[in-house]
Structure 1
Amino acid sequence: MRLGIEDSSFEEAYAPKTKRRKMTSYNHSTRGNPEGNSILQEDQPKLTAPPNSDNDSLNSSFGTVSSPPKKRKMFRNQKQLAKATQKYHSKKDTMYSDTDLSTLDQTDTPDSLSMISAINPVSDMSMQTTFSRMQRPMGRADVTMERAVQRARGQPDGAEKSFHRMASKGVQRYPTIEEVRESAEGVTDTSSNRSEGDSGTLMPPPAALQPMERRKSIRVKISRAASSAAGKLKGLKAKKNLNDSRTGVSAGKRRLEDSQAIETDESKKTKLKELPFKDRRKVRKMLKNNFNMIQRSKQIWDELRRHDVKEKRRSELCSELMTMVKGNMKELSFAHDTARVLQCLVQYGTPDKREEVFSELKDQMCVMAKSKYAKFIVKKFLVYGTKVHRNAVIKSFKGSVRKLIRHKEASDVVEFAYNEYAIAAQRLSLLEEFYGPSFMLFKTPDVKSLDQMLLVQPDKRDMILSNMKDALLPLIEKEVLKHTMVHRVFFEFFVYASDKMRTDMVESLRDCVIHMMHTRDGSRVAMYCFWYGTAKDRKVIIKSFKTHVVKICKEEHGHMVLLAMFDVVDDTKIVQKAVLEEMLKSLNEVATDQHGRKVLLYLLSPRDPHHFHPDIVRVLVEGDKNPHSKKDKAVRHRELLEFVSSQLLQYIVDNTRDMVLDNASMLLLLAILTHAIGDPSAAMKAMAKIAAEPFVAGSLDNMHIVEHSAGHMTLKRLIQNDRDRIQAGHTVLFSQVLLDTLTEGSLKSWAACNRGCFMLIFLLELDHPDITDRVITQLTGIRKALKKMTFKGAQILLQKLDALSGEYKL
């Protein structure tokens, strides 16, 4: 019966592929079949953890190893099949003849297929057979009988004995599953897990539990090696492209870096990392091209830049330096240290050497202007170069101005050239790129500016302004709007654009107006934004002034924007809250500045010719025709004046002496007393107290206000101002407050000096009955003293008294 089953299994194993069927629901054990392949083992044999293991995760950690399929032989007739069967059984009998597995511990791990068969016999297959029969597809062979035979067969005879003999001779064995698990968990004593009868030598556990790897075919290894080599080549190419993109890097330096990247091993990198930072930087510098030349040129530069170097020595150093750097200037101009060397050579070199440097670098001017360090060499040519050099530098910018003005580094160079060294024609050449292609197309030699172009060809206005708008919109950035070139173009656009185009541009520009107010053209642009902006635009602009109001008041051109704002903004509440409150908090700082006083004077008396030049008034008048202001101008002015009057009057009280004795503050003081809404009695009394101080003629240590050059002028203006106050119907007059404050005999002491006599004359010329009567009363008996005095004021005062002698008894 056994022989029949084996023959059947052999026939099935060597049957054609079309007759074999693969079982899908059978879980193979690690035990092999010594009698050959059968229907149960058509799948590839797999090596897994022993089935008696309680940890299934080990099977997944070790992985699965599958052997390649074996090539099956095909037999043409029964004779060849019988011969192959006899050869197979003879080979099987000799295989298990001397094997004894009786003493083998079942937990030990074998190292041959026969040992696997002895240690792990086929488990009970009855349940699996029944389950497989239920799931077996129709038409597959019935293998129930074969499984039952394999279960009853057990271990081959002699397998345990043979394995025990090998173990007794000291054959090394593999650790068991429990020992592997304990080794992975860190248990060091693995000998206690072995059985007492185990005399074999336990192999040391591996350093770390590694899953069994599948053997890779030669094709896979070749493909992976090829992909790795391709990756390295791609990395080297990328590095080379990066080095090529660096301006000024030589080919020798790139080759050196590539060779270092390939040849440097881990030991060299470790040694470089162990060095201090300064040493590492020095090593890297030494690997660069022209290292020795760079070091020597820096030494020369260090001596050449000193101010105490003699002219002869400086000439020698320049000659040596020129010899060293000639031919390498393009590379040296982009480094932070060698760029300074070339700057010094341009500054201190002779005209011939400066010409040599320029001839080598003239093709790189536009590129150098974009460099963080090379741009200073371009500036040196503008400062120390000849007229030809400057023209060449400015000409190199042509065609790239719109890009350069937006560049962080190049914008400084273009701005410097435009403001300091460009003539009118060169400025136009730099600006005409913003006018668009239409201007370039229709420009003639006679046309030198945009207004001339629009005057000659007015039909091209809309086309040119449309191109200007497209060119200006990308320039609305914080860093770009600080340049005067941009301010000029924006100003010309607002001058010639229609109201609709102006309003659209204001909407785009309103958040950045504050960055343009430090120049003349920029302040005019800001004024146009207030004039032609809507109420919302004006509100946004005013809010952007927050924390910058005092600075704007003190700027030469920025304070003009505030004057235009006072003229046209109807929402006086937001002006008071956002601008005036912040300004009044630093009132002393504003009032002591020449431009800040203009802002305060405009609040007190707008467009007063005593304080504002006609040209300024003419500029401000342009905003009166704006289409967005609806409130009456007088109402707007009174609302702002009421808000600041009380604090301005209090400022006089707190700073009376400084204001009275300062010529610049005198006009502000008079304007406050004249136009401020409120009672000025406190301010007038504070000034009268200073005038009432004891007077000593000719005292230089503590000069009285009457003799002071600015003080006597202040008193004169205040006394003469009372005439206007009398006509306006004011009841509080400074002259009356002054006479009330002065002590008896003070007016007689004033008559001892020339300026004091004129103060008395001004009081008498007011023609106010009360004031004139009080003055003449205090001057009784001084006519004899006045006759003895020779200065002009005494003579005029005596004549004035003689004229009044008929009316008053003197």
Structure 2
Amino acid sequence: MAAKKQDDGNTKKRKRLDTKTRESPSNSKTSNLTASKKHKPHSLAKDTKQQKPILTGRERRLQAKELADARKKKRKRHYTLEQELARLWEKMRRHEIAKEDRAKLVTEAVQKMKGKIPEIAGSHISSRVLQTCVKHCSQSERDAVFEELSPHFLNLAYNAYAVHLVKKMLDNASKKQLAGFISTLHGHVAPLLRHMVGSVVVEHAYELANAAQKQELLLELYSTELQLFKDLVSLKESRLLDVMSKLKLQKGSVLRHMTSVIQPILEKGIVDHSILHRVLLEYFSIADKSSVTDIIQQLSSPLIVRMIGTRDGAKIGTLCVKYGNAKERKKIIKGLKGHVDKTAYHQYGCMVLVCILSVVDDTKLITKVIIRELQSVLKELVLDKNGRRPLLQLLHPNSSRYFSPDDLATLSLSIPSLSLKDQSEAGSLTETTKVSLGENESEEDMAVDEVNKDKISVDDSDLAESGKKDPLVRRQELLIKSGLADSLLDVCIESVGELLRSNFGKEILYEVATGGSDGIMRPTLDDKINSLHNAVASLAAMPKPADSQEEHVLENFHSSRTIRKLILDCPNFASTLWEKAFKGKSELWAHGHSCKIVSAFLESPDTKVQKLVGKELQPLIDRGILKNLKLKEQANQ
């Protein structure tokens, strides 16, 4: 059986082989034909390759460039013109070029662009050429470019490249041209402010505008009626409340319009512009509690850092700090992290730091974020006009000696709907507004006022405009426990001569030497304060220089006045200074600027100081070298 199976298997194998053999001739023919067909195109391709010239790398690049230029010519209408302008621009923008040669190149470029300026102004190349031409061309050429562009300014304001050209045109525009441009913005201010590029144009126009033109731009954002009829208000009514009372505008409609303008801008994060800051301040003056709280919540983030660079922006920042809750204040402080030194040096931003140090109760967070950054640049801050203000606020809060009336007004700003002081005034204002509006007020506005009235009557114990912590305790934690006072004393001792002669540093040194207001530094840092007194006295005890260009500390304009003030206000310092620098030498310093210092010993309110110096200074008074101003004032009275 096994043999039979083996035979059957061999038979099947033979049959398969025979079948393959029979089919093989036809297969071989087919394969030959296919091979011949394949071989023929291959040979043709080889011949074609041999016919093409071999190009070098440079030739291939030139060929590719020509193809790209051909495509760009089809796609861009003014491609050739742009290339010509770019070549001219490379010559005219050089610093070493003569004015006459540049003027010729500019004139040539303007002639080439004439009639096509609006079409090419949006190109990243042509817009730069136009900016250079506008900067260096003659006034007649500039006027011609302005006239050609004026119908297209709105469209160009939305273009990322043309916006720089529009700004350059406004910088070089005449008063009449600027007024014409601002009039073209009428009806388009709000849409432009919602656009990242367009908002830059509105802000630039707002900065260049006069008071009447600024008001024209602002009124459009207040109400639909004012957007349609811009000549209803005169320049006298600059505040929104005055405009509303004069025109008897409905409060509800004004609030709705302003909310529809402000909210999209804030959602997009376009908060850098001073025109928006002004609008927000006016909005705060009329908005109800919930609306203001929503805005403060939106702004209490790193966004606030971008706002405090303007006068009104700093006011918004202080209001957010004063009326924000603990969570929102924490966000504001954390948002300042890494920007504290720059903010401290800024003219307006420093007032936000002053407000934080005066209001926020979380002293640990302030120490960690703000005080630590201030300590790293302490000497620079002490000598800076703006940088010293946060330090002076801790040493002597709200002093009119160091803060201008505008600064103090910024710190005392309030929001009527949130202020505890203005709650009753807001209620009476609502009643007055109703009486003034009379029959013209709609039922809807009356409903809004009723809601606001209810909100005013709600318990506002959570509002802490100046913090819930005792101000003296807060100052001690920020100044003493944080180590800031210790660092300040080190800086004052190390740089005593420089600070005394500095217009701004002398004030920090004076406050530190007296121990701050209320003697806040006295109990814990007496030893270091005495060391500072000795440092000043040692400097004053140095002999008068003969030929040195640097004035002696007792004769310098700033230092002599600071030392005089310290003698009058700090008896300990006066005694130290007399013993080290003036005892036995008073007649030497009784002339020039230093004579005021010698006289200050006689005018000191401390009797111990008067007794200490009386014997030596009385002969100088008798001889007429010194004048006791205190006795003279008493005699006049």
Does TM-score exceed 0.5, indicating one fold?
yes
Q: Residue 547 and residue 748 in structure 1: after superposition, are their counterparts in 2 closer, same or farther (change >3 A)? A: same
Is the CA contact 1:382–1:390 (under 8 Å) kept in the aligned structure 2? yes
Q: Distance in 2 between matches of 1:743 and 1:322?
A: 75
1:225-263 CA distance string (max 9 Å, x none)? xxxxxxxxxxxxxxxxxxxxxxxxxxxxxxxxxxxxxxx
State which of 646, 654, 664 in structure 1 corresponds to 2:504: 664
Is the CA contact 2:620–2:626 (under 8 Å) kept in the aligned structure 1? no
**1:712 partnered with 2:560:** yes
1:631 counterpart letter in structure 2: K
- Between structure 1 and structure 2, the one with the greater Rg is 1
1:363-422 CA distance string (max 9 Å, x none)? 3222222223323332343233444543443333333333333434333222212212x3
State which of 719, 726, 736 in structure 1 corresponds to 2:575: 736
Which residue of structure 2 lines up, in the alignment, with residue 500 of structure 1?
290
**1:378 partnered with 2:226:** no
Which residue of structure 2 lines up, in the alignment, with residue 473 of structure 1?
263
Is the CA contact 1:109–1:173 (under 8 Å) kept in the aligned structure 2? no
Which residue of structure 1 lines up, in the alignment, with residue 432 of structure 2?
none
Is the CA contact 2:382–2:504 (under 8 Å) kept in the aligned structure 1? no
TM-score scaled to structure 2, two decimals?
0.73
Is the CA contact 1:438–1:464 (under 8 Å) kept in the aligned structure 2? no
Which residue of structure 2 lines up, in the alignment, with residue 574 of structure 1?
365
1:695-748 CA distance string (max 9 Å, x none)? 45x55345432223333222211111126xxxxxxxxx1022224434964445
Which residue of structure 1 lines up, in the alignment, with residue 339 of structure 2?
548
1:321-373 CA distance string (max 9 Å, x none)? 45533343333222233333434454455555545444543332222222233
Q: Which stretches in structure 1 are left out of the alignment for 5+ residues?
A: 1-51, 54-100, 111-166, 175-200, 208-266, 724-732, 801-810
Which residue of structure 1 lines up, in the alignment, with residue 377 of structure 2?
586
**Structure-to-structure mapping, 1:397-796, within 5 angstroms:** 397-420=185-208, 422-437=209-224, 439-440=226-227, 445-446=232-233, 449=238, 450-457=240-247, 460-476=250-266, 480-511=270-301, 512-623=303-414, 625=420, 628-629=463-464, 630-643=468-481, 644-674=484-514, 675=516, 676-678=520-522, 679=526, 680-695=529-544, 699-701=547-549, 703-722=551-570, 733-742=572-581, 745-747=584-586, 749-751=588-590, 753-766=591-604, 768=606, 770-776=608-614, 794-796=625-627
Which residue of structure 2 lines up, in the alignment, with residue 162 of structure 1?
none
Q: Residue 402 and residue 650 in structure 1: after superposition, are their counterparts in 2 closer, same or farther (change >3 A)? A: same
Q: Give the match's secondary structure for 2:233.
A: coil
Q: Distance in 1 between matches of 2:319 and 2:620?
A: 64
Q: Distance in 2 between matches of 1:355 and 1:651?
A: 57
Q: Residue 368 and residue 720 in structure 1: after superposition, are their counterparts in 2 closer, same or farther (change >3 A)? A: same
Which residue of structure 1 lines up, in the alignment, with residue 128 of structure 2?
340
1:796 counterpart letter in structure 2: K
TM-score scaled to structure 1, two decimals?
0.59
Q: Residue 591 and residue 331 in structure 1: after superposition, are their counterparts in 2 closer, same or farther (change >3 A)? A: same
2:322 counterpart letter in structure 1: W
Q: Which moved more, 1:600-609 or 1:325-334?
A: 325-334
Is the CA contact 2:603–2:630 (under 8 Å) kept in the aligned structure 1? no
Which residue of structure 2 lines up, in the alignment, with residue 35 of structure 1?
none
Q: Residue 720 and residue 371 in structure 1: after superposition, are their counterparts in 2 closer, same or farther (change >3 A)? A: same
Shift, 1:560, TM fit:
1.2
Which residue of structure 1 lines up, in the alignment, with residue 69 of structure 2?
285
**CA RMSD across the alignment:** 3.9
Quick one: percent identity of the two aligned structures?
Answer: 29
Shift, 1:618, TM fit:
3.1
Q: Residue 402 and residue 648 in structure 1: after superposition, are their counterparts in 2 closer, same or farther (change >3 A)? A: same
Is the CA contact 1:764–1:772 (under 8 Å) kept in the aligned structure 2? yes
Q: Give the match's secondary structure for 1:339.
A: helix
1:524-545 CA distance string (max 9 Å, x none)? 1111112221122112111111
Is the CA contact 2:206–2:214 (under 8 Å) kept in the aligned structure 1? yes
2:340 counterpart letter in structure 1: V
2:573 counterpart letter in structure 1: F
1:117-149 CA distance string (max 9 Å, x none)? xxxxxxxxxxxxxxxxxxxxxxxxxxxxxxxxx
Q: Residue 672 and residue 455 in structure 1: after superposition, are their counterparts in 2 closer, same or farther (change >3 A)? A: farther
Is the CA contact 1:415–1:485 (under 8 Å) kept in the aligned structure 2? yes
Which residue of structure 1 lines up, in the alignment, with residue 18 of structure 2?
105
State which of 135, 159, 173 in structure 1 corresponds to 2:27: 173
Which residue of structure 2 lines up, in the alignment, with residue 26 of structure 1?
none
Shift, 1:522, TM fit:
0.5
* Aligned residues between the structures: 537
Is the CA contact 1:576–1:640 (under 8 Å) kept in the aligned structure 2? yes
Shift, 1:557, TM fit:
0.6
1:775 counterpart letter in structure 2: V
Q: Distance in 2 between matches of 1:509 and 1:356?
A: 44
Q: Distance in 2 between matches of 1:354 and 1:772?
A: 74
**Structure-to-structure mapping, 1:31-50, within 5 angstroms:** none
Is the CA contact 2:568–2:600 (under 8 Å) kept in the aligned structure 1? yes
**1:367 partnered with 2:158:** no
Q: Give the match's secondary structure for 1:476.
A: helix
Q: Distance in 2 between matches of 1:713 and 1:461?
A: 55
Q: Give the match's secondary structure for 1:595.
A: coil
Q: Residue 278 and residue 721 in structure 1: after superposition, are their counterparts in 2 closer, same or farther (change >3 A)? A: farther
Q: Which moved more, 1:379-388 or 1:562-571?
A: 379-388
Q: Give the match's secondary structure for 2:309.
A: coil
**Structure-to-structure mapping, 1:23-422, within 5 angstroms:** 105-108=18-21, 110=23, 171-174=25-28, 203=31, 280-281=64-65, 283-285=67-69, 288=73, 289=77, 293-301=81-89, 320-349=108-137, 353-420=141-208, 422=209
Q: Distance in 1 between matches of 2:17 and 2:138?
A: 101
Q: Distance in 1 between matches of 2:81 and 2:363?
A: 69
Q: Residue 102 and residue 469 in structure 1: after superposition, are their counterparts in 2 closer, same or farther (change >3 A)? A: closer
Q: Distance in 2 between matches of 1:173 and 1:334?
A: 69
Q: Which moved more, 1:355-364 or 1:546-555?
A: 355-364
Q: Distance in 2 between matches of 1:436 and 1:754?
A: 64
1:8-49 CA distance string (max 9 Å, x none)? xxxxxxxxxxxxxxxxxxxxxxxxxxxxxxxxxxxxxxxxxx
2:552 counterpart letter in structure 1: H
Shift, 1:294, TM fit:
4.2
Q: Distance in 1 between matches of 2:169 and 2:608?
A: 76
Is the CA contact 2:223–2:257 (under 8 Å) kept in the aligned structure 1? yes
Shift, 1:317, TM fit:
5.5
Q: Residue 634 and residue 463 in structure 1: after superposition, are their counterparts in 2 closer, same or farther (change >3 A)? A: farther
Q: Distance in 2 between matches of 1:392 and 1:105?
A: 102
2:576 counterpart letter in structure 1: V
Is the CA contact 1:378–1:393 (under 8 Å) kept in the aligned structure 2? no
Q: Residue 743 and residue 282 in structure 1: after superposition, are their counterparts in 2 closer, same or farther (change >3 A)? A: farther
Q: Distance in 2 between matches of 1:682 and 1:660?
A: 15
1:710 counterpart letter in structure 2: H
1:372 counterpart letter in structure 2: A
